[in-house]
Structure 1
Amino acid sequence: MSNSLVDILSPTPVREFIQAHLNDDPLALALQAKKYPELPIREIATQIHTRKKAQSKLPEWFANQKIIFPHGVSMEQCSSEETAKYKASLVEGKTVTDLTGGLGIDLYYLSQNFEEANYIERSGELQMLAQHNFKALGVNDITQFHGTAAEYLKLEKEPADCYFIDPARRDDANQKVFQIEDCSPDLNFIIPLLLERKAEVLIKLSPLLDISQGLEVLPNVKEVHVVSVKNDCKELLFRIIPNYEGTVKRIAVNLINEKEECFEFSEEEGETIPSFSKPKEFLYEPNASIMKAGGFNSISNAHGVNKLHRNSHLYTSENLVQNFPGRSFKIVAQTVLSKKKLKPYLPDGKANITIRNYPISVKEIRKKTGIKEGGEIYLFATTLMDGSLVVLVCEKK
């Protein structure tokens, strides 16, 4: 039997078995291999485990029973359906080339805005999987190349309008890395080759990367997109335009159930000093993308809300700001961290606790007060502009 996942898992009896046992415990199933001597049970069990991960991350692909998912890092690092669709909304043209094809999620959606698409992948196993999956999805017009990005660019006859790169974020010891110089392929080598082609470049990088450091390394960046899904920061997108030398726009996007919570600001706007005040009627916490993008000052000026402290990143206003990009709360009371003083506001002894610029952790607060997790009350332990430590008792709007 071939070692290829495509050969092992694509036969009809195997696919039917996977669908019939999709809700089984993969580990328990693997231990029953002797019951099914005619089937590759270990590979089937692993595929079931991986498919379960794909159900929420890649629903369109999960729904297609012919799709085969890779095991391990490739599945972990691939884009979700939401983030892939967001990338596709940013670019269009005649030809798009994905220099780090992987599972092919990003190129599948990117290609829908282009007449031609090229898939480049150095892993033979992944390249075979992508070929199989594109066919299963009814996509037959993606040209494939098995090799490295550098090898492909040496042989390329016609430059693309847009190149997409999602560098591998693992080192030789299979440990996670996120600094640009640690990723593969080497962007310091690849980017100049693409700029010579006068092409747009879209680069996906780790959300752990410091954006300012990325801007120091990458040339001609016009936009940095910070993309979150349901307030969980997933990736940074650096959009490079040949010869662009203007100000960089930072775009903080939070994808929530098919909707985009978006906030844009320039580097100059981000340096504008915000207004400060004590807590008023309402409290606001920006979403994760805004926090990562560094829009602490911009969000204050754009929405007319006051900051509680330079380092607290919580905001307040007298009147409710509609459609604030983040969480909004009604302030019920202002107090201090004291079990006795908090008790009247917590009849069931429960609260959702957040700390912002506060000297002790949520775990320590719970230990000190005995407050359990949950309920309808939200406590924000923070520091005000005069340096005083407070706890704001809030209800979600």
Structure 2
Amino acid sequence: MTTSEFIIQFRESDPRRLALQASRYPDVDMPFALNQIQGWQTAQRKLPSWAACDGVVYPPHLNMEQCSSEPTARYKQQVARRWVEAVQPDADTCMTDLTGGFGVDFSFTSRCFSSATYVERNASLCDVVSANLPRLGIQNATAKCAEAEDVLEQLEPQTMIFLDPARRDEHGAKTVLIADCTPDVCQLLPRLMAKSQFVMLKLSPMLDWHKAIVDLDGKVREVHIVSADGECKELLLVLASDGKPEVQVFCVDIQSRPDSEGQYPRSEFVYSIATNAQEEIVENNSKLENSTSAQPTNSKLKIQNSKFLHEPNASVMKAGCFDEIARAYGICAISRNSHLFLSDREIDGFPGRSFAIDAVTTMNKRQLRQPLSGMKQANIAVRNFPLSVAELRKRLKLSDGGDTYIFATTTSDGDHILMITHKTKK
């Protein structure tokens, strides 16, 4: 049995169990085969369109875990296509990815251009991607092993340049500042803008994007805060030299499972901010707080009479756009630090989760007795509350799970309350 035959025959098997049977297959390059089987299994979950292509070679496990997922890569493709149609709709277009990695983002964004160049400093990774491109049906691209800075220096004018700077230092520690990433985009900024009509920059979700707008000399035109299944995955910045005074912020939450038509459903909340306001926000943390906290309700009666509770998704939480959310949907915050909102009606398209309120109670044992009567389990979340989830669960004597959701929080008057809810149907 050849190595290729072994991979195809056993790609759904447990690699750890296969490793114990290595002596039975002397003609098989077992380390390579096991890595390919593990890579294919990861791709089935993370990159299903790649897993469906025979012959794709997968890199070591770490590269597979760090690469973009298909839903987030397809989202970048849509952003790139929209920008291409805006800046160069009727001409040949070209792009260069200066930090290609395993090539997932490149494999999707390159399809928006007449020609595309993949650049990667790691020779073995570059060889893998070069072999994979035709297997993935990408015929308009070439791969080049080189340093990003060297290629940029010689680069002809591009429609788009893409960068995903390495976010670890020489000791392996994570970095979140743009200037600490490799390559340093701030240092390369003048050349990047001179060589392209727009730049797409992928960054850590931990980054302070307000500061990034300042650090990037006001060239940021769009900020995309991308979450998948409720977890913030990445920041995507689009840079251009058009001198517009506003930045559009996209709070996007994508479902990781495709629908029946192969599309990845998503919710999206979009708002604009003034470019020149960012420096003030960064310099004064209290201003940042005040600018991103929705005005709370001061009425206990309002809390008691509200029918629905709304919890923003991870992208909205990262953006901190609570005032904008409140205005857009006509809802009010329980308090400045709760990040929970109330309404007396259902909200269509809310970017997050919505719940119907069954009861509101304090921590008083007598008040708790009736709402918790017969309840054995509940999903518990705490927002600006003195007890942890574990402590509160022990106090309420409830196991985890079920259809009931309890939100413990503090009102603007300082009262500790429990909101007992169930999910609304969408």
How does the TM-score come out when normalised to structure 1? 0.91
Q: Give 1:173 shift.
A: 2.4
Q: Give 1:273 shift.
A: 7.0
Deviation readout 1:323-379 (Å, 9 max, x if unpaired): 211111111001134677267436351111111111222122223333111100000
> What's the counterpart of residue 48 of structure 1?
37
Q: Give 1:244 shift.
A: 2.6
* Aligned partners of 2:409 and 2:417 also within 8 Å: yes
> What's the counterpart of residue 273 of structure 2?
267
Give the Cα separation in 1 of the matches to 2:342 and 2:239: 36
The 5 Å alignment of 1:26-105 reads 26-91=15-80, 92=84, 93=88, 94-105=93-104
> What's the counterpart of residue 23 of structure 1?
12
Give the Cα separation in 2 of the matches to 1:144 and 1:203: 20
With over 3 angstroms needed to count, the CA separation of the structure-2 counterparts of 1:342 and 1:34, relative to structure 1, is farther
Number of equivalent positions: 385
SS of 2:167 mapped into structure 1: coil
Give the Cα separation in 2 of the matches to 1:163 and 1:52: 31
> What's the counterpart of residue 276 of structure 1?
296
Give the Cα separation in 2 of the matches to 1:384 and 1:262: 28
* Aligned partners of 2:94 and 2:160 also within 8 Å: yes
Alignment of 1:233 onto 2:232: yes
Give the Cα separation in 2 of the matches to 1:321 and 1:67: 44
Q: Which moved more, 1:204-213 or 1:373-382?
A: 204-213
What code does the residue aligned with 2:247 have? V
SS of 1:70 mapped into structure 2: coil
With over 3 angstroms needed to count, the CA separation of the structure-2 counterparts of 1:70 and 1:198, relative to structure 1, is closer
Deviation readout 1:22-76 (Å, 9 max, x if unpaired): 2322122122221211111122222222222221210000111211111133222
What code does the residue aligned with 1:71 have? P
* Aligned partners of 1:379 and 1:393 also within 8 Å: yes
> What's the counterpart of residue 337 of structure 2?
311
> What's the counterpart of residue 347 of structure 1?
374
With over 3 angstroms needed to count, the CA separation of the structure-2 counterparts of 1:68 and 1:198, relative to structure 1, is closer
Q: Give 1:165 shift.
A: 0.4
> What's the counterpart of residue 5 of structure 1?
none
> What's the counterpart of residue 9 of structure 1?
none
Q: Give 1:139 shift.
A: 1.7
What code does the residue aligned with 1:271 have? S
The 5 Å alignment of 1:317-332 reads 317-332=343-358
Task: Pick one of 198, 201, 206 that aligns with 1:203.
Answer: 201
* Aligned partners of 1:339 and 1:370 also within 8 Å: no
SS of 2:402 mapped into structure 1: strand
With over 3 angstroms needed to count, the CA separation of the structure-2 counterparts of 1:313 and 1:121, relative to structure 1, is same
Q: Give 1:169 shift.
A: 1.6
Give the Cα separation in 2 of the matches to 1:207 and 1:360: 27
> What's the counterpart of residue 391 of structure 1?
418
What code does the residue aligned with 1:351 have? A
* Aligned partners of 1:337 and 1:391 also within 8 Å: yes
* Aligned partners of 1:338 and 1:369 also within 8 Å: no
SS of 2:193 mapped into structure 1: helix
Identity %: 39
With over 3 angstroms needed to count, the CA separation of the structure-2 counterparts of 1:196 and 1:346, relative to structure 1, is farther
SS of 1:375 mapped into structure 2: coil
Q: Give 1:81 shift.
A: 0.8
Give the Cα separation in 2 of the matches to 1:15 and 1:352: 47
Q: Which moved more, 1:320-329 or 1:18-27?
A: 18-27
Give the Cα separation in 1 of the matches to 2:375 and 2:13: 38
Give the Cα separation in 1 of the matches to 2:96 and 2:365: 59
Alignment of 1:357 onto 2:384: yes
> What's the counterpart of residue 108 of structure 2?
109
Give the Cα separation in 1 of the matches to 2:210 and 2:292: 17
Task: Pick one of 327, 348, 361 that aligns with 1:301.
Answer: 327
Q: Which moved more, 1:134-143 or 1:268-277?
A: 268-277
* Aligned partners of 2:295 and 2:336 also within 8 Å: no
Give the Cα separation in 2 of the matches to 1:320 and 1:187: 44
Task: Pick one of 312, 319, 337 that aligns with 1:286.
Answer: 312
* Aligned partners of 1:354 and 1:380 also within 8 Å: yes
* Aligned partners of 2:357 and 2:420 also within 8 Å: yes
SS of 1:299 mapped into structure 2: helix
With over 3 angstroms needed to count, the CA separation of the structure-2 counterparts of 1:129 and 1:273, relative to structure 1, is closer
> What's the counterpart of residue 166 of structure 1?
164
Q: Which moved more, 1:353-362 or 1:233-242?
A: 353-362
With over 3 angstroms needed to count, the CA separation of the structure-2 counterparts of 1:19 and 1:365, relative to structure 1, is farther
RMSD: 2.1
Give the Cα separation in 2 of the matches to 1:140 and 1:293: 38
What code does the residue aligned with 1:224 have? V
What code does the residue aligned with 1:297 have? D
Give the Cα separation in 2 of the matches to 1:66 and 1:20: 13
SS of 1:73 mapped into structure 2: helix
Give the Cα separation in 1 of the matches to 2:100 and 2:394: 48
In the alignment, structure 1 segments of 5+ residues that lack a partner are 1-11
